[in-house]
Structure 1
Amino acid sequence: MNFNLSKYLTDKQNLVNQYLKLILHQYDNRHELIMAMEHSLMAGGKRLRPILAMAAAQACGKDFLIALPACCAIEMVHTYSLIHDDLPAMDNDDLRRGLPTCHKKFSEATAILAGDALLTHAFNIISDPQQIFNIYPGYKTRIKLISKLSKAAGIQGMVQGQMLDMQSFQLKQDNDIDHLKNIHALKTGQMITLSVEAGAISVGSDLRTIDKLIVYADKIGLAFQVMDDILNIEGDPSIMGKAAGSDILNDKMTFPAIIGLEASKQYAKKLIDSALESIDELDEKAIPLRAIAHYIINRDH
């Protein structure tokens, strides 16, 4: 079966963008807060996390449209994290997706509040989806999605991972590679795993299938970060939309810094092979998930 991943990604990106615009356009975009939220949320982006959620729902043989509330909420939380990561107190970046970062376009205070607004409104989108969406999961499923998202984004997930990442500048662990894996499992991996799990949960998948999908997601999540580290060295800034080489300049703990560039590439491939093996039993409905795994290892931004 021929599968056009490029068309699949574009179609799903357009769908997610359509609903994100509907969410924002509920509010007066003449207000600086809304303008700042829109600047970052609609700046482009791969929309990888919501696409993974839809692909997981599809792999379960169900209508992926029911996963759209979770998809949009996840992308809003992801964008909030990018706004805050870019702040002077964190990574101090000037560019994001080829555009000025939120605090550069507006102000540091506005960027903080825009991130806060995206984070908090994401939970409203899941809890009260009828304001935007025609189909959505039932009440009990939505409560489960809120619980999963809050855990993946918070002190047991992304925020703790960011904290550990910041501390890694000052602290050198006895076993750097294990510490680095833990940072990325929390900072990046939790939200990628949550995306896949949320798609399956949204459509009421069975636990056995969800377990297989979680293994897949854990592997591609770490591979995604390994590739990020590699692209920070080898990537083209004009394609990536942000500066390359910043990790080296900042003496940041990365996979290439610890195990070397070639070993990092081999490790990323091993993770992807393991991810694909975990969903071997799933039929042709999982073709998008398989294609996305290959895309992660071959991407240039």
Structure 2
Amino acid sequence: MRVLVFGKSGQVATELDKYDETTCLDRAAADLASPAACAEVVANCEADVIINAAAYTAVDDAESDEITATMVNATSVRMMAEAAAHRDIPFIHISTDYVFDGSGTDPWTTEDFPAPLGAYGRTKYKGEQGIVDAGGRYGILRTSWVFSAHGNNFVKTMLRLGGERDALSIVDDQIGGPTAAHDIASALMVMAQAYYEGMGPNGVYHFSGEPDASWADFATEIFDQSDLNVNITRIPSEKFPTPAPRPLNSRMDCETTRQTFGIYRPNWRDSLKIVLDELNADKG
């Protein structure tokens, strides 16, 4: 199985690049700000499956630069999916919990209708719609709260701040499933194999770590596993305003993913230990 991955330096793409079956494209080879060029890559590739792990993920910046975010997260994705459909190549795409408005407390199912709160969520949902409209074979994997030993993420931010301060205020009313990039990459490769074998049904799927937690819960576990003595004050989102609104409820029902692909929700505490071990090894 030959898997072409759009993205190389992002958190999930970095993990996908570790698989023998994958060829990962950096921005020089495929810039999602150039939709036609990305579609041409698909039109001329020799892949059995395509995974799009590239995106405009600067949630706050998207509020003032929705044009670029739309180009990367929607226009390019649609054109890539159309080119893949023309060649009957399965197209697997990573999406986000931000397509939902975060209301209520029930886990979001794949049947729930998206209603994004901000520009990032809007552009990601437009990308999903473009894939469906392309009419080819596809799988959309929505995930949340991605962390890894690479790039910028909550774990690395907490480790930096925890090394500088003995007290932090952390949001406690946003609830979701922290998800390690290596777990997402593993899930994507299971899906890719299923589509390669002709057994992957078109659809939207959810995947996140368990148990669901708040950012304050997540931070507490990071500090506990890292032996950092940091006093956490749990605060509501209104005490930590950001340019882009965050969904309060990012719980996701992942049962369809389990039933379809046999992919279970990973325990994020176990995955966190792996990431921390990797970060410590890098320091050594």
TM-score where L is the length of structure 1: 0.35
Q: Choose between structure 1 and 2: higher strand proportion.
A: 2
TM normalised by structure 2 equals 0.37
